[in-house]
Amino acid sequence: MDQITLTGMDFYGYHGCLPEEREKGQHFFIDLTIYAELQKAGETDDLSATINYASVYETVRAVVEGEPVRLIETVAERIAAAILREELGVQRLDVTVHKPSAPLGGPFRDAAVHIARSRS
């Protein structure tokens, strides 16, 4: 299956379990790998035969900048569900939500959740 990747999408959200995370917010970085059939788009140079990257980006933005949730697992699930619902050519996708400012109490580079979901 062909792939489209969007990496390092940076949005500001208010997700987390702690009150300060809900009040101050923080950056969340999203990586996506979308699996779809892209041969027709490549052969015809027809935008309507591929996945609209700008639409996917706005879908991700709406989730991350939208209603706060406690877990980045929930953010990832909402992103996957929205993309599978809206982008008909997507067969499968991998979503990684990075939370590099998670309050862990010590130095670390990144906290992230990765999920893989398919169209049923």
Dump pLDDT digits (tens) for 92-110. 999 999 999 999 999 999 9
**What does the pLDDT read at residue 87?**
87
Residue 39 C-beta-side C-alpha neighbours within 13 Å: 2
The pTM assigned to this predicted structure is: 0.95
Alpha-carbon distance 24 to 85, whole Å? 31
Q: How many domains does the chain have?
A: 1
| pLDDT tens-digit map of 14-64 | 999 999 999 999 999 999 999 999 999 999 999 999 999 999 999 999 999
73: domain range? Answer: 2-118
Which residues are part of the catalytic machinery? 99
Here the CATH number for the domain that contains residue 109 is: 3.30.1130.10
* Bridge partners of residue 93, in order along the sequence: 34, 117
> Is the CB of residue 110 less than 8 Å from the CB of residue 83?
no
